[in-house]
Amino acid sequence: MAKQQIHQYEMANGLTLLIEHMPAVRSAAITLTVPAGTAHEQKGQNGTSALLADLLLRGAGDMDSRELSVAFDNLGVQHSVSPGWFHITLHAATVAERIPEALELIAKVIQQPRLEAEHFEMCQVGREQVLRSIEDEPRQKLTVELRRRSYSPPWNRPLEGTLDHLNDISLDSVTDHYRRCCVPQGAILGIAGYVDPIVIRGLCDQLFGGWKGIAPESLEELEPKVHQGHLKHDSTQTHIGIAYPAVPYRDPDYYKAWAAVGILSGGMSSRLFTKVREERGLCYAIGASLNTLRDRARVICYAGTTNDRAQETLDVTLNELINIGDDISEDELQRCKARAKSSLIMQEESTMARAGAMVRDWFHLKRISTLEEVRKEVEALTVDQIVEYVNNHSARQFQVLTLGPEPLSVQGEVDISDM
């Protein structure tokens, strides 16, 4: 694996600039995060961040919405804007020689958005359609509600917004959110690809040096937290969501937590797939993932099944989660490591993945983890370490949420208190 060339600069206005020169590629990618996610929305205004993300590409500076779209297309730039729990994130990727022009457009989008009334009304209509589609999709609705119940406010707010709040959000609300939160202090700009770090740094000084603003405070505990529950839904299917605490990305035990979840749900040979679906035929879909914020994390599990098998599915799944440490094998760990190595190789060849990973690392760790560092962390994992981790972080403090005709009961020695 070639030695990575990563450069980090703190600009005077608080913007962190991260640049990785990747000599083996001829493309480049940009990831820019600004502290304008749902954690910074005002009370009763969940959805402001999503609406702002929708509006940012609807015209900027001297370019209207169509002119801006044509400008991106003429450069061959694949681009998107998405809301997150802490940030709004802009992604862009193109051939390396077009990165200076792409950066000019990104700078214009984030510093000079038009935020016009006619586009706001269209975005609001589109946002309502997105939210109603979630209501009609049981698995997605369950996932949103499970997060709402397992994290504390404001970290539990749905990224897509809330129908109850949508009509209370005005263009003035979105404009105020932009002015408070789309600022350089706390923003991170990652650029990876076949680029010259010195040239890119000078260009960013020109494009972003005049950008001003102080990062907003996160707004804590704005809404009451909902706990255990069941969502009534007349159907032949029952959807089961389970969440329990884990360690976040910045924790020294993170890779042990990652491996434990990989053994549970890392492909068709994983515990949950084989023990719950294949051997018993209890469900048609099952899986788990490690969801991490900066200072807290959860393992989020999902199972979809028929109503008559729902209770047994829940019982068997909880049993597998609780007892994962009993018989972890070396073969299971080696399969986790193989998946990780494949992912690292693909990341080494993807400018978009590298730009995003640098920004993620800086936000969580205030440093950049090289691919070689990650490889060594994964290679060093042992079965005994993972068993020790799962014993020290016993999966017994569960948040269980079901969606279907009838609620289910949690059996055995399981803690379902507040997390």
Distances, alpha carbon 184 to alpha carbons 10, 12, 32, 220, in Å: 11, 9, 10, 22
- Please check whether residue 47 is in contact with residue 162, taking contact to mean a CB–CB distance below 8 angstroms: yes
Q: What is the CA radius of gyration of the chain?
A: 23
**Looking at the predicted structure, is the pLDDT value of residue 219 above 70?**
no
pLDDT digits (tens, 9 = 90+) for 288-318: 999 999 999 999 999 999 999 999 999 999 9
Residues 67-89: what's their mean pLDDT? 96
The pTM assigned to this predicted structure is 0.93
Span 195-215, average pLDDT: 96
Q: How many residues does the chain have?
A: 419
Query: Residue 341: is its pLDDT beyond 60?
Result: yes
226 SS3 class: coil
What integer pLDDT is reported at residue 179 of this predicted model? 97
pLDDT of residue 348: 79
Amino acid at 208: F
Euclidean distance between CA atoms 99 and 167, whole angstroms? 39
Return the bridge partners of 27, or none. 95
SS3 190: strand
Residue 225, pLDDT above cutoff 60: no
Predicted pLDDT of residue 222? 52
Residue 242 β-bridge partners: 301, 400
Percent of the chain's residues with pLDDT above 70: 95
- C-alpha distances out from residue 66 to 60, 116, 126, 166, 348, Å: 10, 13, 18, 26, 35
How far apart CA 182 and CA 36 sit, in angstroms, is 6
Q: Judge whether residue 362 has pLDDT over 60.
A: yes
Write down the pLDDT at residue 292: 95
Classified as helix, coil or strand, 349 is coil
Q: Is the pLDDT of residue 188 over 60?
A: yes
CB half-sphere exposure, 187, CA atoms < 13 A: 30
Cis peptide before 407 (omega within 30 of 0): no
Q: Is the CB of residue 353 less than 8 Å from the CB of residue 22?
A: no
Which one has a higher pLDDT value, 338 or 412?
A: 338
Task: Using pLDDT thresholds of 50, 70 and 90, give the confidence band for residue 327.
Answer: confident
413 vs 187, which has greater pLDDT?
Answer: 187
The C-alpha atoms of residue 189 and residue 201 are separated, in whole angstroms, by 11
Q: Are 303 and 273 within 8 A, CB to CB? A: no
The structure tokens listed for 416 are: 């379902």
What does the block give as tokens for 101?
């022009």
**Alpha-carbon span 302 to 325, nearest angstrom:** 20
Per-residue confidence (pLDDT) for residue 150, from 0 to 100: 87
Among residues 197, 292, 178, 312, which one has the least CA distance to residue 245?
292
> How many Å separate Cα 412 from the centre of its chain?
33
Residue 226 has pLDDT above 60, yes or no: no
Q: What is the residue type of 270?
A: S
How high is the pLDDT of residue 65? 96
CB-side neighbour CA atoms (13 Å) of 249 = 16
Structural domains for the chain: 5-208 (3.30.830.10), 229-404 (3.30.830.10)
Residue 216's pLDDT is 86
Cα gap 197→188, rounded to integer Å: 16
What integer pLDDT is reported at residue 414 of this predicted model?
52
Sign of the CA dihedral running 328, 332, 337, 340: negative
Confidence at residue 320, expressed as pLDDT on a 0 to 100 scale? 93
Higher pLDDT residue, 229 or 7?
Answer: 7
Number of H helices, E strands in the chain: 15, 11
Stated as kind and residue range, the H or E segment containing 18 is strand 16-21
| Residue 172 pLDDT exceeds 70 | yes
Express each pLDDT in 373-408 by its tens digit. 999 999 999 999 999 999 998 777 888 999 999 999
Could you give the C-alpha distances from 222 to 85, 142, 155, 232, 272, in angstroms and in order?
A: 14, 22, 10, 26, 36
**pLDDT given for residue 330 in this prediction:** 95
Query: Phi first, then psi: what are they for 286, rounded to 5°?
Result: -160, 145
Whether the per-residue pLDDT at 250 is higher than 90: the answer is yes
pLDDT at res. 224: 54
Asked if residue 85 lies in contact with residue 157, where contact means CB atoms within 8 angstroms, the answer is yes
State the pLDDT at residue 397.
82
What order of strands is seen across the sheet that includes strand 27-34?
5-10, 16-21, 188-193, 27-34, 88-95, 78-83
Tell me the mean pLDDT in the region 68-91: 96
Segment 235-241 mean pLDDT: 96
Place 2 in a pLDDT band, splitting at 50, 70 and 90.
low
Closest by alpha carbon to 178, among 346, 258, 58?
58
Please give the DSSP secondary-structure letter assigned to residue 267. S
Specify the amino acid at residue 143: T
Per-residue pLDDT at 78 exceeds 70: yes
* Cα distances (angstroms) measured from residue 236 to each of 302, 307, 324: 17, 6, 30
**Distance from the Cα of residue 371 to its chain's centroid:** 20
Whether the per-residue pLDDT at 323 is higher than 70: the answer is yes
113 secondary structure, DSSP code: B
227-240 average pLDDT score: 88
283 C-beta neighbours (distance < 10 Å), count: 26
pLDDT at residue 163 greater than cutoff 90: yes
Mean pLDDT of the chain: 92
* Over residues 8-17, mean pLDDT: 97
